[in-house]
Structure 1
Amino acid sequence: MNRETFGAIDIGSNAIRLLIDYVEAYEDGRTEYKKAAFVRVPIRLGDDVFLRGRISNGKAEALCDAMQGFSALSRAFAVKDYRAYATSAMREAENGSEVVSLIRNRSGISVEIISGEAEAGTIFAAGGLRETLDPAKTYLYVDVGGGSTEIVVYARRRKVDACSFRLGTVRIFSRAEEPAEWERFGRWLEQIDEKWHPSGIIGSGGNINKVHKMLEKKSRECIRAKELTSLYARLRDMSVEERMEQLYLNQSRAEVIVPALKIFTEVLRICRIDTVCVPRMGLADGIIHQLYRQYNPFA
């Protein structure tokens, strides 16, 4: 067995995450990804960016503090290599490049601000879907983040279309989304439904992962549309405090889970889809897989 350690940092609009994985390759060709460490810090960069267009000094300092901690953890775990990607909030912040420079100076970590399409592609690179995808059917890969939603259309196990929308959980919770973006979202989905007739959703993001757990689904068990819409109606009628007290959600999750469910229910409704499968893979998982393949191209 050969073991290598890789790290991934996901700087999102709602939270930032560090994932460190041991990747073990066996002589029989098997490769296993085992979580060594995972840290999530809900800094909520989107609170600043989607309302004021820039990252405040306070949140920039908090981000740098967290990244210094991530750097120390990566050294402690003897990480062979890492990548740090920033998504929607950093893309839109007028001082995003300044904050990236500040992070590099403070922590030594180089951050790359990636596009929505690159974000979706990296998440899909995590794999784990081959058992889920029926080659005869079309699926929508829907990743709901804090600032944006990425949708990729897969037919015959290959990407045939993709689009990124400025509709995310923090943006919606902050009431910073634009009605025109919802209209663009709806029109694009209608066109996709007419052309490709998708039969299922592959759901990605912390909120749909949480919903999968809340509904007590087994590892590869899909969520039915009526289950998701029923949960959405229930949570929408509760206050943030009630969600925290009755469902044991932390404040950050209690605030953004309803906007996430709104997006998923709209996709289900417009495309007349009945199931959401949740592989529980995210951007950080995709980064780890990309790194491993970079160092082991024939694996």
Structure 2
Amino acid sequence: MADHFAVMDVGSNAIRWQVAAVDHPKHYRILDQVREPVRLGLDVFRTGKLNPRTVDAALEVFTDFKAAADRHRVKAMRAVGTAAMREASDSRRLVRRAKAIGVPLEVLSEKDEARLISLGIMSGLRFHLPLGLFLDIGGGSVELSVADSANTYCLFSLPLGAVRLTEEYLRADPPQRKQIKNLRRYVRESLEPIARRIQKEKFTMAFGSGGTITALAETDTRTAGEGKPGSLIVLRRQRLKALLDLLISRPIAERVEMISGDPKRADIIIAGGLVLYQAMSEIGLNYLFVSKRGLRDGLMVDLLRRQYAESGPWHADADRAESLEQVCQKYSNDAAHSQHVSQLALNMFYQLQAAHKLPERYASILHAAAMLHDIGLFISHPKHHKHSYYLIKSAGMKSFNKLDLDLVANIARYHRKAHPSQKHLGFSQLSPANQDVVRKLSALLRVADALDFKREQRVESVSCALDKSKTLTIAASSSFNLDEEIEWAARKGKLIEEVFNVGLSIKKAKLARS
């Protein structure tokens, strides 16, 4: 029989709780979760005391949480308060009233809040994150940390929450130009020293979380007509700026209609957005990934680790997986190029089976890698091969098991730039046999991609021949001049020479006479 657990995040803008079941170690199922927009931070950051009306509303949520915990017969529960409760002089009274209901409420330290937020976000990733930057904007504070699954290298908590800054700086509707200017200056001065410290860490990805960031990202996605957002949304700094300019010019009544999610966030979204934009600017982020996970999820994972004396990774059961076609449609901006690269790569795969000696089932792996090799362009061109790797791993495609998905992601990752290397964590974690598969198939993909680097589908087909002198000749059929394609393919063909221990000759096939 499954064990049940419950956690609650008593935030400055909203209270979130969750009940989950553990059927087997390392995985849990979410049975029930609720978000209630109880603005516990209302007036706290000005008066230093909790507002009696919001306290009453919070106690109602606590009662509902305890009832759900009892209904599911939870084995353990944990409830924590954040910035509003840290600063309210009368928070101990709320702790006592929560205890009377049966809820063991505690006040979370700034450092523990930042740590648990990063833990919650990482619990939702389907790939190993070497080192990440985590940014969460709450109602009372902003948490920033640089961490991996084992260690936290730096963390900060700043009094830059959206509720706090709105009450202090943005009292007009819409906000006045001078108010915006003063707020920007205060945020910039607060973030500058922190940003300098964070920039010293070599993080590979940046993540944003919290209701304000999620609402901004989903509003941006909807406004851009990009359809329903996935589990990880990409928010770009320049698009955030344009969205903020629009929000700043509108009164609350119009912002309510514009933003995604809770309409009660319309009054604080400008302050939160300005903090996010300034943080991205100071740290030098052109984009970040927005996760719907956060403190509540980190609380659950932390509770389960304690209960099961297990420090390894815990994950909520995955959302419904997508198909290869759905992932292509979501991220690909050039389906014709991907399909053509797949065709050329498969041409080489079948003609060179005597050389690579891989079973035919790997053709589907190569096809998927070819179709997805450029989806990282959805994020940015620089390092897009690495972005492709992370997006593929995050997609969790239903047509592939975990190992096959690892192969697809690694092959796509090596379609350009560095060759496969033990220095790269994702590759080094594969078995020697699977590393061999990645080397061979990425070698073919690199040449296929190079032969269509202009994205004009000039090469109709390829013919491969390996002679006794161990020279592999790839002849490309086309009615166009292929000098540039051949030159580029020869450069990217170095991996073929290494992997198959051959010399490589790429040329244009002679056209048959009619």
Q: Same fold (TM over 0.5)?
A: yes
Relative to structure 1, the CA distance from residue 67 to residue 271 in structure 2 (aligned partners, 3 Å threshold; closer, same or farther) is same
Once the two structures are superposed, residues 70-103 of structure 1 have per-residue CA deviations (whole angstroms, 9 ceiling, x without a partner) of 1112111222211000000000001111221122
What's the TM-score once normalised by structure 1's chain length? 0.87
Whether 2:31 is the aligned partner of 1:32: answer no
Aligned match for 1:168, one of 153, 158, 161: 161
Whether 2:118 is the aligned partner of 1:115: answer no
Q: Which amino acid aligns with 2:297?
A: D
Q: How much has 1:150 moved relative to structure 2?
A: 0.6
Relative to structure 1, the CA distance from residue 87 to residue 71 in structure 2 (aligned partners, 3 Å threshold; closer, same or farther) is same
Residue pairs, 1:208-227, within 5 angstroms = 208-214=213-219, 215=221, 216-227=228-239
Q: Which amino acid aligns with 1:19?
A: Q
Q: Distance in 1 between matches of 2:73 and 2:148?
A: 40
Q: How much has 1:258 moved relative to structure 2?
A: 2.1
Q: What is the aligned partner in structure 1 of residue 336 from structure 2?
A: none
Secondary structure at the residue paired with 1:255? coil
Whether 2:186 is the aligned partner of 1:186: answer no
Whether 2:148 is the aligned partner of 1:142: answer no
Whether 2:52 is the aligned partner of 1:53: answer no
Q: Which amino acid aligns with 1:224?
A: R
Aligned match for 2:206, one of 163, 178, 201: 201
Q: What is the aligned partner in structure 2 of residue 10 from structure 1?
A: 9
Aligned length: 290
Q: Which amino acid aligns with 1:17?
A: R
Q: Distance in 2 between matches of 1:176 and 1:7?
A: 37
Whether 2:63 is the aligned partner of 1:93: answer no
Q: Computing the radius of gyration over CA atoms, which structure comes out larger, 1 or 2? A: 2
Q: How much has 1:183 moved relative to structure 2?
A: 1.8
Q: Distance in 2 between matches of 1:156 and 1:286?
A: 12
Q: Which amino acid aligns with 1:243?
A: R
Structure 1 portions without partners, runs of 5+: none
Q: How much has 1:125 moved relative to structure 2?
A: 2.3
Which is worse superposed, 142-151 or 57-66? Answer: 57-66
Q: Distance in 1 between matches of 2:210 and 2:107?
A: 18
Percent of pairs with identical residues: 28
Q: Which amino acid aligns with 2:10?
A: I
Whether 2:63 is the aligned partner of 1:68: answer yes
Q: Distance in 2 between matches of 1:296 and 1:191?
A: 35
Q: Which amino acid aligns with 1:11?
A: V
Q: What is the aligned partner in structure 1 of residue 75 from structure 2?
A: 80
Aligned match for 2:281, one of 264, 269, 277: 269
Secondary structure at the residue paired with 1:203? strand
Which is worse superposed, 48-57 or 122-131? Answer: 122-131
Relative to structure 1, the CA distance from residue 278 to residue 245 in structure 2 (aligned partners, 3 Å threshold; closer, same or farther) is closer
Structure 2 portions without partners, runs of 5+: 171-182, 222-227, 313-514
Q: How much has 1:283 moved relative to structure 2?
A: 1.2
Secondary structure at the residue paired with 1:218? coil
Q: How much has 1:118 moved relative to structure 2?
A: 0.3
Q: What is the aligned partner in structure 1 of residue 19 from structure 2?
A: 20
Q: Which amino acid aligns with 1:153?
A: V
Task: Please tell me whether the aligned partners of residues 5 and 20 of structure 2 are also in contact (alpha carbons under 8 angstroms).
Answer: yes
Task: Please tell me whether the aligned partners of residues 9 and 83 of structure 1 are also in contact (alpha carbons under 8 angstroms).
Answer: yes
Task: Please tell me whether the aligned partners of residues 13 and 41 of structure 2 are also in contact (alpha carbons under 8 angstroms).
Answer: yes
More contact order relative to length (CA 8 Å, sep ≥ 6) = 1
Q: How much has 1:176 moved relative to structure 2?
A: 6.2
Q: Distance in 1 between matches of 2:205 and 2:148?
A: 11
Q: What is the aligned partner in structure 2 of residue 293 from structure 1?
A: 305
Q: Distance in 2 between matches of 1:141 and 1:248?
A: 22
Task: Please tell me whether the aligned partners of residues 14 and 39 of structure 2 are also in contact (alpha carbons under 8 angstroms).
Answer: yes
Q: How much has 1:218 moved relative to structure 2?
A: 2.4
What's the TM-score once normalised by structure 2's chain length? 0.52
Which is worse superposed, 86-95 or 46-55? Answer: 46-55
Q: Distance in 1 between matches of 2:74 and 2:237?
A: 41
